Amino acid sequence: MTSPAYLAAVRDSYDTLAADYFAQVPPPSGMDPLNRGMLAVFADLVRAAGSGPVADLGCGPGRTTAHLAALGLRAFGVDVSPKMIALARGNHPGLRFTEGPMAALDTASGTLGGILAWYSVHHTPPDRLPALFAEFHRVLAPGGLLLIGDWTGSDEELSPDLAFGHPVSYRSYFLPLSRLADLLTRAGLDVTARLEQEPEGRQKRPHACLLARKAPQGHGGT
């Protein structure tokens, strides 16, 4: 089946810049304390809920997947870019990485203890977010956790010509935090925490974390 144009642009762009992305983007140890703290909270909650498998969607070169594994989760990575997946497999041979889109996961319904979408949702056009979040809901087990970390904005759309010194064709969509939370709620996920941060240091725009949970069985969830 032919990929949507936006997805092909994301795949081709990240294939082009994969090596420089890996060289220039800091690993989780270089994140700010609040983001590292949210990853730790996410890991604690997943373990407390039973620690089913955790999918790192848009995993890139796999360093955050490896960080989740070090926090005690059974983490695996998914990315649409073959070159990112090759980097992830080469640098973390003990973990599983799969090439594919996060909107159509090769994962059975109701089987994941958690999903991490770490700065990967913003390449999805807003009109496709309901289907994406419905897919997240489908694969999460009852009581499963979702953590989204991403840039926010006021319904902005950007089409950069270059990233990491390479020509790119993807687009980025920066939505208000409240709209992202509403879309998660409409998908049947209960938003339990949100953290919004102002630009600071190397970060040039506001960014946020959203923590959500699929309702446990017997609590009115679908």
List the Cα angle 32/156/65 in 5-degree steps: 35
Per DSSP bridges, beta strands 75-79 and 54-57 are parallel
At residue 89, the pLDDT reads 98
For the chain, 222 residues long, the average pLDDT of each consecutive 10-residue run is: 85 96 92 93 94 94 98 97 98 97 96 97 97 98 97 94 93 97 98 91 84 83 42
At residue 200, the pLDDT reads 75
At residue 199, the pLDDT reads 83
Residue whose structure tokens are 């996060």: 102
Instruction: Of 134, 152, 128, 157, give the one whose Cα is nearest residue 222.
Output: 134
Give dist(CA 188, CA 43) in Å, integer. 22
How far out from the chain centre does Cα 165 lie? 24
Give dist(CA 114, CA 147) in Å, integer. 8
Radius of gyration of the CA atoms of the chain, in A: 16
Contact 137, 108 (CB under 8 A): no
At residue 218, the pLDDT reads 61
Contact 174, 205 (CB under 8 A): yes
Find the DSSP H helices in the chain: 5-24, 33-48, 63-70, 82-91, 129-139, 177-186
Point out which residues pair with 207 in neighbouring strands. Answer: 151, 197
Give dist(CA 136, CA 140) in Å, integer. 6
The class level of CATH for 5-112+124-151+171-197 reads: alpha beta
Q: Is 71 left (phi over 0), alpha (psi -120 to 50) or beta?
A: alpha
Domain boundaries, the chain: 5-112+124-151+171-197
Kindly report the pTM of this predicted structure.
0.94
At residue 221, the pLDDT reads 44
List the Cα angle 28/164/22 in 5-degree steps: 35
Backbone φ and ψ of 144, nearest 5°: -70, 155
At residue 142, the pLDDT reads 96
At residue 177, the pLDDT reads 96
